[in-house]
Amino acid sequence: GNSVTQMEGPVTLSEEAFLTINCTYTATGYPSLFWYVQYPGEGLQLLLKATKADDKGSNKGFEATYRKETTSFHLEKGSVQVSDSAVYFCALISTSQGGSEKLVFGKGTKLTVNP
Amino acid sequence: EPEVTQTPSHQVTQMGQEVILRCVPISNHLYFYWYRQILGQKVEFLVSFYNNEISEKSEIFDDQFSVERPDGSNFTLKIRSTKLEDSAMYFCASTRFPNSPLHFGNGTRLTVT
C-alpha cells in the first residue's frame, strides 16, 4: 500500500541554521504530496503541497520539490527561527480501490530551534 | 478564514464508558474524516465519510466506533465502550474536493482511565 517514510527526529538546530527533513514515499501513480505542521498544543496545519512531478511547494520560507525519480519530497528552509519549533509531517493522498481518498502520514519529525 | 472546530478540547472518561467527540466541519465541505494520534506516535486514519455514508475505514475503526452527521453541520465520532488504548488525540478534518488538502481541527484529547 501507499506509505510515507520520513526522517525521525528529534532535530535540534540553532536559529538561522539550514533545515532539511527527508521524506520518501511509496505509491502507485503520482499522488499529491503535503507537508503538515503541528505547533505545540495545536492541530495540524497545511504547510505546503505539490500535486505533480517537479512541482515546488513553498510557504513561510519552507520549500519542498516533488521528485518522481527519487520518490522524495524533502522539506527545506534556509534559515530557521525559534517559532519554527514544531512537529512536521509528510503526507500523501492515497486512493483506495473503491475510489475514496485519505491522507497517509509519516511518523513526524520534531524540530526544536534554539535561540 | 473558516475553520474546523472540535469539542471538547479534552475529555476524561472511565474505561467502558461511551464518549461522543464532536466536530463542526467547514460549512461548504463535503468530505469528512477522523484521525487519531496516540501520544508521540504517527497520525492514523480512522474513517472517511461522504454523502452520508462511510467511504473507507481502517482496521482501528472496529464495531466500537461509529460516525454520524446528525444535522447539516455536526460530524460526530462515538466510541461505545472505551478502552485504555483509546487514549489519544482525535482530529476531525474536512475538505470540499477529493485530492485537496484537508483542513484539521485542533483535536480532542481523550483520556481513558
pLDDT tens digits, residue range B46-101? 999 999 999 999 999 999 999 999 887 899 999 999 999 999 999 999 999 887 88
**Residue B11 or residue B99, greater confidence:** B11
Strands A23-26, A33-38: pairing kind = unpaired
Is the distance from CB of B59 to CB of B8 less than 8 angstroms? no
Confidence class of residue A66 from pLDDT cuts 50, 70 and 90? very high
Q: Which residues contact B75 (CB under 8 A, 6 or more apart)?
A: B22, B23, B24, B25, B32, B49, B67, B68, B69, B92, B94
Q: Does A7 touch chain B (CB under 8 A)?
A: no
Q: Does A45 touch chain B (CB under 8 A)?
A: yes
Say which of B41, B102, B107 has its CB closest to residue A103. Answer: B102
Q: What is the pLDDT of residue A70?
A: 95
Measured CA angle at A102 (ends A106, A2), to 5 deg: 55
Q: Closest Cα of chain A to B49: distance in Å?
A: 9
Place of cell 538546530: A13
- Is a pLDDT exceeding 90 seen at residue A97? no
Confidence class of residue A100 from pLDDT cuts 50, 70 and 90? confident
Nearest CA in chain A to B50: A100
Q: Closest Cα of chain B to A45: distance in Å?
A: 7
Q: What is the pLDDT of residue A75?
A: 98
Hey, which residues 7-46 in chain B have their CB within 8 Å of chain A? 31, 33, 35, 41-45
Asked whether the bond before B8 is cis by omega within 30 degrees of 0, the reply is yes
Q: Does B101 touch chain A (CB under 8 A)?
A: yes
Question: With pLDDT > 70 as the criterion, what percentage of chain B qualifies?
Answer: 99
Q: Which residues of A touch B104 (CB under 8 A)?
A: 36, 43-45
Q: Do B107 and A43 touch (CB under 8 A)?
A: yes
Nearest CA in chain B to A33: B101
Helix (H, G, I), strand (E, B) or coil at A40: coil
Confidence class of residue B12 from pLDDT cuts 50, 70 and 90? very high
- Is a pLDDT exceeding 90 seen at residue B2? no
